Chain A
């Protein structure tokens, strides 16, 4: 399947891009992260502290064990700091 993957804040800066299309058969968000980390050091570094990473699947906040079946967009970002 093809997923649009988005990165925000320091994840975007460490990986060096804000969005990309990813062809993957990952079953869950955690599987997708494992695939990304295996790609290149910059991904591995960005995802090295998972306590500092949050994710949204199709623009809804979701835990990392969320299934990617039917998903189109996955976003990764640090804890939010609005307000």
Chain B
């Protein structure tokens, strides 16, 4: 298998899921492509918008590191990680991960791994602005616990 591709994008702009998924289909070795897309969902108080802050100097490197860890663990032909920041509205896409491999198990597992690590190890913070006011989204203990199944370093 040739060198796996890594595509990391951190941007205010939206992305095209179909284009991103198709880009991972390059090559006859790729038998499986798995994608996950995260979207802004409404909340009980009525979400006006979500503001996503990140750490510009660190974000790209942190996402690339997570992608490289996935490549070290599974036989992947490609990994894509896209995360938006700035002002997003309910229904907007926030982020996606996509993995490509010869077989589905590696693609599914590595996509779940990327999501679990991204939630607790990539420097993004979400603030919700609702009709009742605004507040930073708290991290969940379950997010940190999710890393345990991957043998958290």
Contact = CB atoms under 8 A, between A and B. Distances in A.
Interface in B70-114: 83, 94-95
Given A9-B127, A10-B136, A80 B121 contact: yes
Interface in A1-46: 6, 8-10, 12
Interface string A51-77: 000001001110000000000010101
B130 to A, nearest CB: 16
The secondary structure that dominates the A interface is mixed
A82 B119 contact: yes
Nearest to B124: A82
Interface residues of A, number: 18
A12 B53 CA distance: 11
A80 B115 CA distance: 13
Contacts of A9: 53, 125, 127, 136
A81 B135 CA distance: 13
Interface of B: 38, 52-55, 57-58, 61-62, 83, 94-95, 115, 118-127, 136-139, 144
A75 B115 CA distance: 23
A29 to B, nearest CB: 15
B136 A56 contact: no
A2 to B, nearest CB: 17
B125 A81 contact: yes
A77 B95 contact: no
B120 A77 contact: no
Contacts of A77: 55, 123, 125
A81 B124 contact: yes
A73 B95 CA distance: 27
Contact of A80 (B38, B94, B123, B127): B123
